[in-house]
Each structure stands twice: as C-alpha cells, then as structure tokens.
A and B are shown apart, each in its own frame.
Chain A
Amino acid sequence: EVQLVQSGAEVKKPGESLKISCQASGYSFTNYWIGWVRQMPGKGLEWMGIIYPGDSDTRYSPSFQGHVTISVDKSISTAYLQWSSLKASDTAMYYCARPHYDSSGYDLAYFDYWGQGTLVTVSS
C-alpha cells in the first residue's frame, strides 16, 4: 500500500528556518517524482514543485522558485521542503503528493497519492 506520511505541525517565528518531511512507502521511491502543494488558510491548492529522487532533478513553480528548497534522502525514502527564513505569509497547510505518469508513460498527468498535510504556523 502506497503511503506518504508527513511530519507534524510546526509553530515558528518570522526569520526562522524550517524543514518538513514526507516519508514514502509501498513503492519504489526512486522511480516516481514527488512534490509539494501549498494551501493557505481558506484558500485553494497551489503547486510548489517536484523532485525526481532518482537523480534529484527538481522543478519549481515560478511563484515559489528561490523561496523554498525541495530535496530528498533516497536512503530513507523521504522528501523535504525547506525554508531558510520564514515569513508570516508562509503560514499554510503543506501537502506532499506523488505525480503519476499518463498512460503513455512519458508525461506527468495527475497526483494519485497525497500525504496527510503539515500545518506550518509562522507568528511572532
């Protein structure tokens, strides 16, 4: 059974750093992309970026490029989302999700599995 299990809720102050995690199980971690999605309070889903654990190829949404870092540790099948200096506007629920290839096997097409979410609260 495929599972994505995320780290627990975090409360941080502006300017602090943070790294949240998403541990995958039930499939070959290095053969599938994995990504992050932000949902601000009362708002919609925003795609942040994805990484291919096999070679760490990473793609970011232009909206998040330079503001966060996505990484993986293949040895423990875990993906990370990291901030070096948090802002109050980073307060949100963050989901990891696994993109799946389409039936041709060439293009990414949909997110078939999602983590339970990690709530990040940034407040002074």
Chain B
Amino acid sequence: QSVLTQPPSVSAAPGQKVTISCSGSSSNIGNNYVSWYQQFPGTAPKLVIYENNKRPSGTPDRFSGSKSDTSATLGITGLQTGDEADYYCGTWDSGLSAFGGGTKLTVL
C-alpha cells in the first residue's frame, strides 16, 4: 500500500490531453516537492518533472506538473504513442522518500 495514491490506469487518444493525479498528505506532498518518473517496460525509471513543475532537459514541454495542497498532477498534451508508459509520482516525508503506486498510460 503506497502512501501516495495514483489511479491504476488512464487512457486517451493520440493528440489528446491526459492528466494523472497523485494524492498524499500534509506530511509528504503538503510540505515537500513532487517529482514524476516515466518507465517503459524493461527499463529504468526516468525523471520527467521535478520540484512540482520543472522539466529536466530532454523532457518535452508537452509534459507539465502542478501541485495544490496535498495533491499533484502530471499533464501530458498532444499525446503520442511513444508516451505510453508507467508514470510514478514521488515525494519525501521527514527525510524518507515514497512513490505512488504508478499509473499505466495507454494511448489508444
């Protein structure tokens, strides 16, 4: 049971927009930054959003992040088939880290 709650799956058509939610508590998301990771099957996770809404170099500007109180959201616009992957939110709580349970994005 993850301390951060994500929907197991989301789906949308190519070119559309999708959002993935991540719900936590005042002790984790409420007082810490949120990051997002993309993982393709058989590969290591990759950071796509850090400090709630910043993109590392290499992350397309189609990806965005936001945070409000104890929840965070990853948004992806102009969906491409290559975006189909698992997405995980992550944060910290009193010096310990935690991840959400992950969301499988299907691009129909």
Residues on A facing B (Cβ under 8 Å) = 35, 37, 44-47, 50, 59, 61, 95, 97, 99-100, 102-103, 107-112, 114-117
Contact = CB atoms under 8 A, between A and B. Distances in A.
Interface residues of B, number: 25
B37 A95 contact: no
Interface of B: 2, 32-33, 35, 37, 39, 44-47, 50-51, 56, 86, 88, 90, 92, 95-102
Contacts of A35: 97
A60 to B, nearest CB: 8
26 contacts: A44-B99, A44-B101, A45-B37, A45-B99, A45-B102, A47-B90, A47-B96, A47-B98, A47-B99, A59-B96, A61-B97, A97-B45, A99-B97, A102-B33, A102-B51, A107-B33, A109-B92, A110-B33, A110-B35, A110-B47, A110-B51, A111-B47, A111-B90, A111-B97, A112-B56, A114-B46
A116 B44 contact: yes
Contacts of A108: 92, 95, 97
A47 B97 contact: yes
Contacts of B46: 114
A112 B101 CA distance: 19
- The A contact surface, by secondary structure, is strand
Contacts of A114: 44-46
Contacts of A107: 32-33, 92
A95 B44 CA distance: 7
Given A35-B97, A44-B99, A45-B99, A109 B33 contact: yes
Contacts of A47: 90, 96-99
A61 B95 CA distance: 10
A100 B84 CA distance: 26
A102 B92 CA distance: 11
Which 10 A/B pairs are nearest by Cβ-Cβ distance?
Answer: A110-B35, A44-B102, A110-B50, A114-B44, A47-B97, A45-B99, A109-B33, A44-B101, A45-B88, A117-B44
